[in-house]
Amino acid sequence: MNAIITASELTGDLAGENPPVVLDVRWQLSVAKAAGEPPFDGRAAYEAGHVPGAVYVDLDRELAGAPGGRGRHPLPDLALFGSAMRRAGVSAGRPVVVYDGGQGWAAARAWWLLRWTGHPDVRVLDGGLPSWQGDLSRDVPARAEGDFEPVPGATGLLDADGAAALARSGVLFDARAGERYRGEVEPIDRVGGHIPGAVSAPTNDNVGPDGRFLAAEDLRDRFEGLGASDGTEVGVYCGSGVSGAHEVLALAVAGIPAALYVGSWSEWSSDPARPVAVGPDPR
C-alpha cells in the first residue's frame, strides 16, 4: 500500500463505500517570533476551513507527551493517544488519511504513530491542504466513536542508545537542515551538531517546490546514494521526532523501511555526557 495519497484519489475514496477518516493536523514548529506575533493556532486554522468531514488533531497535546528529558515531542501516553484517535472516529477496519498545512511534517508524525501502534491503513495527503481542489468546510463533524486500540511495536522505534549503535552498524539519517547538522546554528536546542556517525539528509530535499514528494524512484536513488542500500538497517532522527517522521515517510515511499528515533536531537543534546560531532563529516 502506498503511504501517500493524491487529492484526486482522496476525493474518490471519500465517495466510496468505506470512506477514510480524515485527520487535520495543522501545526508549526515554535521558534523565536517577532515581538507581538502570536503563535500558530492549528485549531483556528481548522475552524476557518478544512477538508469536509475532517477532524482536528492537536500534535502537541495528542501526538506527543510533555516536553522534558525525553525530548520536545516524546511519545504520547498511549492511553491518551488511543482515546484521542477513537474520539476522532479512528477504527482498525477503516482507512485513515492525514493532512496538514502543506509542509507534511505534522501529518507524517500522525501517520508514523498510527502505523507504529498497529493501524493497517494510513496515508498522508501529498502536498497537504494546498493540494486539495474541492470546497472547504467550516462545519465540525460529529464523529461516531472509533474502536482503535493502539498496540506499539508494529514499526521501528529507536532510543538514544539504539540510534548511536545504528550510526555505527547501519545508516542513521539526520533529517534537519544542513546548517544545524554541521553545528553552524542551533535555534532551539542546547547545542548544535549531530550524533557521531549520522549522515546529513535534510527532509526538505525529499519534496519538490510544490511540497509534494519526489517520485519514488528519485527518492530511492537519493537514499541509496546516501548509503541506504538493500539490506542496510536504516534509522532517522531530527530535532524532536516530527520532521524525522516525514523522512521515514519519504523512505517508505521509496520502498525502504526505517526506524524513528523519536527523542531525536532534543533528547540527545540535553545530556552533556553524550558525544556531539560538528562539521560536514559524519564522524
Architecture label for domain 157-268:
3-Layer(aba) Sandwich (3.40)
Whether 35 shows a pLDDT value over 90: the answer reads: no
Number of residues written out for the chain: 283
Q: Distance (Å, rounded) from C-alpha 107 to C-alpha 228?
A: 24
Query: Is position 145 annotated as part of the catalytic site?
Result: no
Q: Distance (Å, rounded) from C-alpha 42 to C-alpha 212?
A: 21
Tens of pLDDT, residues 135-174: 999 999 988 999 999 999 988 999 999 999 999 999 999 9
Q: What is the pLDDT of residue 36?
A: 59
Helix (H) or strand (E) holding 7: helix 7-14
Is 253 within 8 Å of 167 (Cβ atoms)? no
* Predicted TM-score (pTM) of this structure: 0.96
Domains 4-131 and 157-268 share a fold: yes
Q: Distance (Å, rounded) from C-alpha 234 to C-alpha 240?
A: 18
Q: Distance (Å, rounded) from C-alpha 36 to C-alpha 204?
A: 29
Tens of pLDDT, residues 178-233: 999 999 999 999 999 999 999 999 999 999 999 999 999 999 999 999 999 888 99
What are the sequence ranges of the domains in the chain? 4-131, 157-268
Percent of the residues in the chain that have a pLDDT greater than 70, as a whole number = 97
Q: What is the pLDDT of residue 34?
A: 45
Tens of pLDDT, residues 65-106: 999 999 999 999 999 999 999 999 999 999 999 999 999 999
CATH 3.40.250.10 fits 4-131, yes or no: yes
Catalytic member of 238, 249, 251, 258: 238
What φ, ψ does residue 236 adopt, rounded to 5°?
-140, 145
CA 204, 208, 212, 216 dihedral sign is: negative
Q: Distance (Å, rounded) from C-alpha 133 to C-alpha 52?
A: 12
